[in-house]
Chain A
């Protein structure tokens, strides 16, 4: 069926032949294309193929009643506009039908103009919803293109500059004065900061599009923690931080995206290492608490002054104290953590004592079933 035909099609499901015929006549005159059905099953079968914008359905029918029909067609087409006809016009049945997703109701008996009015309004609603959907899709497409463009246009040149500096310092170090080496090193770290900022920003854009939810599987959080800690242990740290993992033996899997969970753990551990004291400790615990998985990352570091805590999860916010001044960061790490946790249906909290410790506690819903954990 051409879409111009489909877009003016009304389905009428009613066991009363008089109603079917009169609806058909009235709506046909108004320029609609009408298909009528004497019972729910026939209507639903045909609806799958045609996908009309609007359905008029009687509540009281033998076999499948109007409520059952609404329940089924909502799943087939969430955009379908449904108008219910109710014979025994009580407000309760109408409200029940609306709760299940009907758009409006028409109490029997009704006049031709009442029917036309409701159907016209229903079509207008469908048209508007359709337009909104289309606009939203276009907007998302523009955003996606913008993100790709920015990533390439900004990251590539910065990367090239840093690559020159990296190679320069690696191959010609002995030809430079100590001051020149310092300047090059400073340039490298400033560029690295900018690259990380673009990366974090891209990650946020990705999270906004719900990309991380698409690849949800059962993940072994303990394994993710161990891998992250191993990575940090391999990097020689100037501050001699000791990293420890304490993973409860009864830990159950978490449903989520492995890359997202990895990023969450990595960001929290990275902060705990950065905002620590020389010789400090970082402890990552994972365990079960009722139906939740609790991930706790604690440090023996600088702590977060009370005034700063409410803003920690805001974009580009950074704790500014004399001690944190020289610590590099993008101000997006915790924002990313919060978005990931939100997406997984969990929560994140912070407890801290200035000059002593900070503890970030993440609670995630434990996976219920015993499916095979994604080992990849």
Chain B
């Protein structure tokens, strides 16, 4: 990996952001964060992170849900892997996370607090998947 991968954390809980930012940085990721949805979407558009960690329940109950729907309509973010986190829900089935058909187009759901080892391995998996996909896409275009 020539350049370190970047992660954007969007969450209104600044303590969660600090802890997870420290964890990701200790594993070599570049981390940016936003404490609300609007700022998060702006940062996502301008910085185009390799992965987004998104809390679905911010100050507005559905802020994260709508943000995610909106994000998927932005061409540069339509394929960015998103991990949804929440302290309210503890079960994935509630969300029906399904990037193909689901109404919540996230790649993964994790309950807060997230387990450090699990988060790191999933972030690694999801960020390497995208680079493979984009390499493949570039390859096809060259043909």
Taking beta carbons and an 8 Å cutoff, which residues of A are in contact with B?
A: 148, 151-152, 155-156, 159-164, 166-167, 170-171, 199, 258-259
Are A163 and B91 CB-contacts (below 8 A) given A152-B57, A170-B23, A170-B117?
Answer: no
Task: Tell me, in angstroms, the Cα distance from A162 to B90 when the chains sit together.
Answer: 15
Task: Tell me, in angstroms, the Cα distance from A171 to B119 when the chains sit together.
Answer: 13
A154: nearest residue on chain B (CB-CB)? B87
Are B113 and A163 touching (Cβ within 8 A)? yes
Across-interface contacts of B112 in A (CB, < 8 A) = 156, 159, 163
Contact mask for chain B residues 6-32; partner A; CB cutoff 8 A; 1 contact, 0 none: 000000010110111011001000000
Minimum C-beta distance from B41 to chain A (A)? 22
Minimum C-beta distance from B28 to chain A (A)? 12
Query: Main SS of the interface on chain B?
Result: helix
Closest 5 CB pairs of A and B: A170-B116, A163-B113, A160-B15, A162-B113, A159-B87
Task: Tell me, in angstroms, the Cα distance from A170 to B114 when the chains sit together.
Answer: 12
Across-interface contacts of A162 in B (CB, < 8 A) = 113
Minimum C-beta distance from B56 to chain A (A)? 12
Minimum C-beta distance from A258 to chain B (A)? 7
Task: Say which residue of A155, A156, A161, A166 sits within 8 Å of B116 (CB atoms).
Answer: A166
Are B91 and A259 touching (Cβ within 8 A)? yes
Does B115 belong to the interface (CB within 8 Å)? Answer: yes
**Size class of B's contact patch?**
20 to 34
Across-interface contacts of B94 in A (CB, < 8 A) = 259
Across-interface contacts of A160 in B (CB, < 8 A) = 13, 15-16, 19, 113
Residue from the set A148, A152, A159, A171 with the largest chain B CB neighbour count within 10 Å: A159
Does B139 belong to the interface (CB within 8 Å)? Answer: no
Minimum C-beta distance from B124 to chain A (A)? 15
Are A259 and B113 CB-contacts (below 8 A) given A151-B88, A163-B19, A164-B15?
Answer: no
Known: A156-B112, A167-B23. 6 other contacts (CB 8 A): A152-B57, A155-B87, A155-B88, A162-B113, A166-B114, A171-B23
Does B75 belong to the interface (CB within 8 Å)? Answer: no
Minimum C-beta distance from B64 to chain A (A)? 13
Minimum C-beta distance from B61 to chain A (A)? 8
Minimum C-beta distance from B130 to chain A (A)? 25
Query: Main SS of the interface on chain A?
Result: helix
Task: Tell me, in angstroms, the Cα distance from A170 to B26 when the chains sit together.
Answer: 10
Task: Tell me, in angstroms, the Cα distance from A156 to B113 when the chains sit together.
Answer: 9
Across-interface contacts of B116 in A (CB, < 8 A) = 166-167, 170-171
Across-interface contacts of B22 in A (CB, < 8 A) = 167, 171
Are B88 and A167 touching (Cβ within 8 A)? no
Across-interface contacts of A161 in B (CB, < 8 A) = 15
Minimum C-beta distance from A148 to chain B (A)? 8
Across-interface contacts of B15 in A (CB, < 8 A) = 160-161, 163-164
Task: Say which residue of A152, A163, A171 sits within 8 Å of B26 (CB atoms).
Answer: A171
Contact mask for chain B residues 90-104; partner A; CB cutoff 8 A; 1 contact, 0 none: 110110000000000
Task: Say which residue of B23, B26, B93, B113 sits within 8 Å of A159 (CB atoms).
Answer: B113
Minimum C-beta distance from A118 to chain B (A)? 49
Across-interface contacts of A163 in B (CB, < 8 A) = 15-16, 19-20, 112-114
Are B13 and A156 touching (Cβ within 8 A)? yes
Are B88 and A166 touching (Cβ within 8 A)? no
Task: Tell me, in angstroms, the Cα distance from A199 to B90 when the chains sit together.
Answer: 8
CB-defined A-B contacts under 8 Å, sample of 5: A156-B112, A159-B16, A159-B87, A166-B114, A171-B116
Task: Tell me, in angstroms, the Cα distance from A259 to B90 when the chains sit together.
Answer: 12
Minimum C-beta distance from B7 to chain A (A)? 14
B94: nearest residue on chain A (CB-CB)? A259
Task: Tell me, in angstroms, the Cα distance from A159 to B90 when the chains sit together.
Answer: 12
> Which positions 56-102 of chain B face chain A at CB distance < 8 Å?
57, 87-88, 90-91, 93-94
Minimum C-beta distance from B111 to chain A (A)? 9
Minimum C-beta distance from B36 to chain A (A)? 16
B23: nearest residue on chain A (CB-CB)? A167
Task: Tell me, in angstroms, the Cα distance from A123 to B114 when the chains sit together.
Answer: 58
Minimum C-beta distance from B94 to chain A (A)? 8
Are A156 and B87 touching (Cβ within 8 A)? yes
Are A166 and B115 touching (Cβ within 8 A)? yes
Across-interface contacts of B115 in A (CB, < 8 A) = 166
